[in-house]
Amino acid sequence: MNDIQAHNPPPAKAPAASNATDDPFLWLEDIRGARSMDWVKRQNAVTTKQFVDNAEFASTRDSILEVLDSDARIPYVNRMGNHLYNFWRDKTHPRGVWRRATLEEYRKAEPQWEVLLDIDALNKTEDKRWVFKGAQCLKPAFERCLISLSPDGGDAIAVREFSIPHKAFVKNGFELPVAKSQVGWIDQDSIYVGTDFGPGSMTESSYPRIVKQWKRGTPLAAATTVYEGKPTDLAISAYHDRTPGYERDFVSVAKDFFHSELYQRNGDKLTKLDVPADADADAHREWLLVRLRSPWTVDGTTYPSGALLATQFDSFIAGSAHFSVLFRPDAHTSLDSYAWTRNHLILNLMDDVKSRLEVLTPPQIAMPGSAWARQAMPGAPAMSTISVIDTDPDHNDEYWLDVTSFLTPSSLERGVLDNLPVQTIKQEPAFFDAAKFSVSQHFVNSKDGTRVPYFEIAPKNIQLDGSNRTLLYGYGGFEVSLQPHYSGSIGRAWLDRGGVYVIANIRGGGEYGPQWHQAALKANRPRAYEDFAAVAEDLVKRGVTSARHLGAEGGSNGGLLMGNMLTMYPQLFGAIACEVPLLDMKRYIHLSAGASWMAEYGNPDTDDWNFIKTFSPYQNMSEGGHHPPVLFYTATSDDRVGPVQARKMAARMQAQGHSNVWFYENLEGGHGAGADNQQSAHMHAMAYDFLWDQLK
């Protein structure tokens, strides 16, 4: 699911009596209960014996781990002041080190890093198993930071204040216990904090309902309430923009994943920004950008869904509604993201799911209504993804790009607009022989005639005789786009074996903007499943594979996709890997953070159940009939989707007499199912070996 910071969910609500009668596996919802964990241990033992305790698994796992632990990987960085910061895990530091270097040092083949925080050493000292979840540092000095640490890799975090000059946590500094907290600096002595303040302080989605201003040296109980939302809101947060000359405070009221209200805070006064609830509003210096999810008519002009608009912030607050259109979508092109530099705006666009960049230059503030200058940023390789991963908009026009494609190892590039052409700073090594493979993009008409793209990575000498073991991956939700990317793990664990790897860009994602996502919302959710099935059928029609050689894989919302492949289209697949999945759509809003996804799926406690039940795999799985072998894997510490969904589905299928139903649950790792590289390699190797074995 989307990456809103999350923490340990509240206990599941007591099921209604009718549910208790209908669902014999409710006891598995007791996440850490003795009976549940005994069941998990028995399942893990069976799956381990079948797929883990053999030389082939060890080889696959070690091959993936070599990629994840490689010292030759790119150490991706973000700039804070005069230093570049990086978090790094490897064989020596399985939980990782947070470190920094100057640009001059970073350019070297083997930089000398200044280690700020060693998580493995911290765990040894405190006898914990902390997982690093990021740092927020106070600009412009960047000497004080709020460090987030998860006890088990889940979304739950403890927050501690850290001093970079002293390389130590601040004694009597800002500190929060493990909770679903959202924090941010205001100044040296105050922060915004949303956390579990006690009963009733969290939303039904298990995120902060109240945001407060907390001053240094005072107890949390004395923090001043800034905004108090409703229990039905998704989450409440506040933040301070420290841009010199444009310091502002904002309160964000997220109603659901796609609707929110943004307020400017001036003392006790809150001024709502009058933009559509489903739009994203972003203030930067003198500008306000508005990214639309639906058409918006303002001042007599209608702007389309997917457009990016700009206006002067102060004029807009004063009532002006004059906008410049910075991006207007078409049938093939959508806006993926944007990033400010000091004097420019970089747009990251997708043309049929392939990247290109444009650089926009705003007009002078004294020239309202004048056009933004626009030019293309050249150099995008074919079928690639380019991401702007960092800029320094307070000071200069520096930008950092990650350039990746299916067969070309990723590169990290740096440039300065109007000054320094882009240069390659770091290059990922090749982890498999890409010369043996080719990449192609195909399109297929779905059931309702919609044109759906997919990428195929296959051996150059592929025989189109239906015999190729093929893995089809999909997601299809929450506006998430699946774009070309280099993966040494997939290359080694699947392609090098002779397999074909396919990514389906189905509806529900963001590949063609908001409308592509909205086409599979709520009652239209089955459109995503029809798209995925259409790709599967096209692979067979083209002779790439056949049903018994075709596997499917997906996680989270993609796990729900896999569950529906099991129940709706079992005849199309030879095996399915269903990872950290959402499956019980009748109970999902009462489990972990499930209530936060009602804007995507609907509310099963209302008449929405009439359409939700059509795509709820847990309820739709029945005895008899053909079902391909399936592996469910999840994590006990997953406090976003939760492990109970996969548990109950596996238990139900086994009780119904379905054969080849496998289950594995990692104790740590949260929604990623791996708290370190070793655990991640284990989980991925198990899935790839399971699929390869079943599709032979």
Binning the chain into helix, strand and coil, the percentages to the nearest 5 are 25, 35, 40
Do residues 454 and 578 both lie within one domain? Answer: no
Judge whether 601 and 612 are in contact, CB under 8 Å: yes
Q: Which of 176, 201, 226 represents a domain boundary (last residue)?
A: 176
Residue 12 lies inside a defined structural domain of this protein: no
Residue 1 lies inside a defined structural domain of this protein: no
Do residues 279 and 371 both lie within one domain? Answer: no
Q: Which residue, among 348, 346, 476, has the nearest Cα to 418 in the 3D structure? A: 346
CATH code of 456's domain: 3.40.50.1820
Q: Which of 145, 176, 207 represents a domain boundary (last residue)?
A: 176
Residue 64 lies inside a defined structural domain of this protein: no
Return d(Cα 276, Cα 581) in angstroms, integer.
32
Q: What is the percentage of the chain residues whose pLDDT exceeds 70?
A: 96
Whether 10 has a pLDDT exceeding 60, the answer reads no
**pLDDT at residue 9, as a whole number:** 31
Do residues 323 and 358 both lie within one domain? Answer: no
Secondary structure of residue 87 in the 3-state scheme: strand
Do residues 311 and 293 both lie within one domain? Answer: yes
pLDDT (tens digit per residue) in 564-614: 999 999 999 999 999 999 999 999 999 999 999 999 999 999 999 999 999
Residue 4 lies inside a defined structural domain of this protein: no
Mean pLDDT over the full length of the chain: 94
Mean pLDDT calculated for residue range 309-315: 95
**pLDDT at residue 22, as a whole number:** 82
Do residues 515 and 586 both lie within one domain? Answer: no
Do residues 452 and 579 both lie within one domain? Answer: no
- Kindly compute the dihedral angle of the four CA atoms of residues 129, 134, 136, 140, in this order, to the nearest 10 degrees: 120
**pLDDT at residue 662, as a whole number:** 98
Which DSSP symbol is given to 8? P
Do residues 553 and 692 both lie within one domain? Answer: yes
Which DSSP symbol is given to 509? B
Do residues 154 and 237 both lie within one domain? Answer: no
Return d(Cα 457, Cα 49) in angstroms, integer.
32
Q: How far apart, in Å, are the Cα atoms of 444 and each of 29, 48, 90, 448?
A: 40, 38, 41, 11
Residue 11 lies inside a defined structural domain of this protein: no
pLDDT (tens digit per residue) in 206-222: 999 999 999 999 999 99
Judge whether 394 and 244 are in contact, CB under 8 Å: yes
What domain count does the chain have?
A: 6
Buried b (16+ CB within 10 A) or exposed e, 544-582: bbbbbbbbbbbbbbbbbbbbbbbbbbeebbbbbbbbbbb
pLDDT (tens digit per residue) in 618-637: 999 999 888 999 999 999 99
Do residues 342 and 396 both lie within one domain? Answer: yes
pLDDT (tens digit per residue) in 91-130: 999 999 999 999 999 999 999 999 999 999 999 999 999 9
pTM of the predicted model, to two decimals?
0.94
Helices (H) and strands (E) in the chain, counts: 15, 39
Sign of CA dihedral 229, 233, 235, 240: negative
Q: What domain range includes position 358?
A: 334-429
**pLDDT at residue 170, as a whole number:** 98
Do residues 101 and 240 both lie within one domain? Answer: no
**pLDDT at residue 367, as a whole number:** 57
Q: Which residue, among 226, 236, 220, 174, has the nearest Cα to 4 in the 3D structure? A: 236
**pLDDT at residue 285, as a whole number:** 96
Judge whether 31 and 37 are in contact, CB under 8 Å: no
**pLDDT at residue 382, as a whole number:** 82
**pLDDT at residue 624, as a whole number:** 87
Q: How far apart, in Å, are the Cα atoms of 598 and each of 445, 588, 593?
A: 29, 9, 11
Sign of CA dihedral 687, 690, 695, 696: positive
Do residues 578 and 504 both lie within one domain? Answer: no
Helix axis angle for 677-694 and 34-51, nearest 10°, is: 60
pLDDT (tens digit per residue) in 14-68: 333 334 458 999 999 999 999 999 999 999 999 999 999 999 999 999 999 999 9
pLDDT (tens digit per residue) in 353-388: 999 999 999 997 545 557 899 999 877 778 899 999
- Kindly compute the dihedral angle of the four CA atoms of residues 126, 129, 132, 136, in this order, to the nearest 10 degrees: -40
pLDDT (tens digit per residue) in 137-175: 999 999 999 999 999 999 999 999 999 999 999 999 999
**pLDDT at residue 37, as a whole number:** 98
Which DSSP symbol is given to 293? S
pLDDT (tens digit per residue) in 378-422: 777 788 999 999 999 999 999 999 999 999 999 999 999 999 999
Do residues 319 and 343 both lie within one domain? Answer: no
pLDDT (tens digit per residue) in 661-675: 999 999 998 899 888
Q: How far apart, in Å, are the Cα atoms of 58 and each of 55, 82, 88, 290, 489?
A: 5, 43, 24, 50, 14
Q: Which of 545, 580, 607 represents a domain boundary (last residue)?
A: 545
How many Cβ atoms from other residues are within 10 Å of residue 19's Cβ?
13
Residue 684 lies inside a defined structural domain of this protein: yes
Residue 62 lies inside a defined structural domain of this protein: no
Residue 136 dihedral angles phi and psi, to the nearest 5°: -115, 120
**pLDDT at residue 155, as a whole number:** 93
Estimate to the nearest angstrom the gap between the alpha carbon of 30 and the chain centroid: 27
Residue 670 lies inside a defined structural domain of this protein: yes
Write out the catalytic residue numbers: 556, 671
How many Cβ atoms from other residues are within 10 Å of residue 215's Cβ?
14
Mean pLDDT calculated for residue range 72-81: 97
Q: Which residue, among 480, 483, 454, 307, has the nearest Cα to 386 in the 3D structure? A: 483
